[in-house]
Amino acid sequence: MPGIREPLLTVPGFSWTGMNVGIKDTRPDFAVAHCVTPCAAAGVFTRNNFPGAPVLVGREHLSTGQLQTIAVNSKNANVATGQDGIANARRVCRAVGAALGVAPERVLPSSTGVIGVPLPVGKIEQACAELPGRLSADRAGLEAFARAIMTTDTRPKAVSVRVGSAVITGVAKGAGMIEPHMATMLAFFFTDAQVSSNALRDILSRVVERSFNRVSVDSDTSTSDTAVILASGQAGPVASGDFERALEEAAIYLAREIARDGEGATKLIELVVDQAPSPEAALRIAKSVINSPLVKTAIHGADPNWGRFVMAIGKVFEHPIPLDSLRIEFGAESEGLRIAAAGQNAETLARISQYLKRDEVVIRLILGQGAHQARVWGCDLTAEYVSVNADYTT
């Protein structure tokens, strides 16, 4: 059976915390998740050519297929910090591991925030002494973890899904520098299902491709993107297909929430490219449209300027689409808001403009050239996005 969405659930065997260690002002800036036993684990990381020090160390620690603890700091990405940055990521792992009785190699470090600033690792090391008394297996601990990993997010992002006798709970952050090939996007999943690390690696890779790699806020791929899953096995095995569908449901929910909470965003956009000649063409065209500042600003202003969609489709040079086969649909098919290249009338444009005022819009680009489809998520582009990023480091 597929996954069943639930209210936010804790996962047996896991505990969490979030606290302030002085990287931010008084807001939480250090989060730890811990399991009482070693877990099968897998991860997917950024493809940016300048990955952060925690990404480099995290890849190394995940090579064994086992983790027990995740340590995340926000406000400082520990990126472009050279060998000192790598040494500091390792120091975090040692300090967390020593406090919780875990080998440093079973701790995954993760950082998000400003690039090029040395990590104040001493503050983190000092705070680690508090970890045994701060970790909590209840929902308050999980929620504290979700808040402590936030940067420009306006709210925490978390979801739970049941699959068989097991629970999958996911927590994510991300609002800007988002266009994952794996975005400043972090996602951590915890489950008590029994799944091998090899199976987790394959499943997570496929799920990330269908969820986080289909979301864009601003077309920028972060140096810190990380998606990791820990499976304790306490609930026993579940059917592999059911587990993958449940994890995908959780990941898509979080991907949508990241797009919905994009920096300055007022609208969630779901864009579907249909009847494409190939999967590659469907995804390339979808990404071209969802990344277009002109499309995003038109949707923000509820401007039914369908020529911007035509532009964004047409600039995918390797996949030309005949203009006379293109149709654009806004909303559900039953709403009848369709535009074809042959023309449109003022009444339809006025109704599309009204539809685009909603805080969640669905747009379908029907290419009429095949049977392939791609679905992506994004958000509108606003003046607030400029404001947030113009003042990011101050």
| pLDDT tens readout for residues 127-159 | 999 999 999 999 999 999 999 999 888 889 999
CA separation for the pair 67, 69 (Å, rounded): 6
What tokens were used for 11?
């996962």
Which pLDDT belongs to residue 141? 97
Residue bearing tokens 């996949």: 319
Rounded to the nearest 10°, the torsion over CA 250, 256, 261, 264 is 160
Which pLDDT belongs to residue 183? 41
Q: Are 314 and 263 in contact (CB under 8 A)?
A: no
Which pLDDT belongs to residue 181? 44
Q: Is 368 left (phi over 0), alpha (psi -120 to 50) or beta?
A: left
Least trusted range by pLDDT, from 101-110, 189-198, 200-209, 212-221: 212-221
Q: Quick check: 23 pLDDT over 70?
A: yes
Which pLDDT belongs to residue 17? 98
| pLDDT tens readout for residues 179-190 | 444 445 899 999
Q: pLDDT: is 347 or 37 the higher one?
A: 37
Which pLDDT belongs to residue 180? 47
Average pLDDT over residues 167-172: 97
Alpha carbon separation from 98 to 16, 53, 131, 384 (Å, rounded): 17, 20, 10, 43
What tokens were used for 393?
């480091």
For the chain, the average pLDDT equals 91
Going by their DSSP bridges, the two strands 157-163 and 166-173 should be labelled as antiparallel
Which domains does the chain show, CATH number per domain? 4-257 (3.60.70.12), 268-390 (3.10.20.340)
Q: pLDDT: is 325 or 1 the higher one?
A: 325
Which pLDDT belongs to residue 342? 54
Average pLDDT over residues 214-237: 86
CA separation for the pair 50, 20 (Å, rounded): 28
Most confident range (mean pLDDT) of 4-8, 176-180, 182-186, 327-331 is: 327-331
Q: Quick check: 3 pLDDT over 60?
A: no
CA separation for the pair 267, 357 (Å, rounded): 8
The closest of 315, 368, 312 to 338, measured between CA atoms, is 368
Q: pLDDT: is 116 or 389 the higher one?
A: 116
Q: Quick check: 394 pLDDT over 70?
A: no
Please state the three-class secondary structure of the chain as a single string. Answer: CCCEEECCCCCCCEEEEEECCCCCCCCCCEEEEEEEEEEEEEEEECCCCCCCHHHHHHHHHHCCCEEEEEEEEEEECCCCCHHHHHHHHHHHHHHHHHHHCCCHHHEEEEEEEECCCCCCHHHHHHHHHHHHHHCECCHHHHHHHHHHCCCCCCCCEEEEEEECCEEEEEEEECCCCCCCCCCCCEEEEEEEEECCHHHHHHHHHHHHHHCHHHECCCCCCCCCCEEEEEEEEEEEECCHHHHHHHHHHHHHHHHHHHHHCCCCCCCEEEEEEEEECCHHHHHHHHHHHHCCHHHHHHHHCCCCCCHHHHHHHHCCCCCCCCHHHCEEEECCHHHCEEEECCECCHHHHHHHHHHCCCCEEEEEEECCCCCEEEEEEEECCCHHHHHHHHCCCC
Tallying the residues shown for the chain, one arrives at: 394
Please state the three-class secondary structure of 4-37 as a single string. Answer: EEECCCCCCCEEEEEECCCCCCCCCCEEEEEEEE
Catalytic site positions: 184
Amino acid sitting at position 339: I
Q: Quick check: 224 pLDDT over 50?
A: yes
Average pLDDT over residues 305-326: 94
The closest of 286, 363, 270 to 319, measured between CA atoms, is 286
Opening angle at CA 364, ends 347 and 296, nearest 5? 80
Q: Quick check: 219 pLDDT over 90?
A: no
Opening angle at CA 353, ends 291 and 254, nearest 5? 45
Torsion sign (Cα): 245, 247, 253, 258? negative
Amino acid sitting at position 313: I
Residue bearing tokens 């299902």: 193
| pLDDT tens readout for residues 76-104 | 999 999 999 999 999 999 999 999 999 99
- Residue 1 banded pLDDT, cuts 50, 70, 90: very low
- Residue 203 banded pLDDT, cuts 50, 70, 90: very high
CA separation for the pair 380, 384 (Å, rounded): 11
